[in-house]
Amino acid sequence: MPLYEPNTIDWRVGAIVIHDADAKRASMLMQVVKIQKNGLIQTKYLSPSGGKSIHKIWKNGKEHLLDPKRFGIALPDKVGEKNAR
């Protein structure tokens, strides 16, 4: 059973998200880098944390990619402007 309600936001490239299974802290933020034709969303971590590479691309369904503001996580200024929905 999921810990959080599934996401329903249609994220766009450049959006900042957090995975539902990750710790809810700023060091775990991800950026959407591509939306595949099959609906999967490619993301990468903004900072290396917990041994996770910032260069690896992760593929997730949108239901797993949550809005960081929901958890009181401030978005970085540099990329926060791109957090379009």
pLDDT tens digits along 25-51 = 998 999 999 999 999 999 999 987 666
Whole-model pTM over 0.95:
no
Domain assignments of the chain as residue spans, ordered by start: 16-80
- Please list, residue by residue across 11-31, b when 16 or more beta carbons sit within 10 angstroms of its beta carbon and e when fewer do: beeebbbbbbebeeebebbbb
Q: How confident is the model at residue 79 (pLDDT cuts 50, 70, 90)?
A: low
| 7/70 Cα distance (integer angstroms) | 11
Cβ neighbours of residue 25 under 8 Å, at least 6 residues apart? 73
Dig out the tokens for 85 from the structure: 């929905």
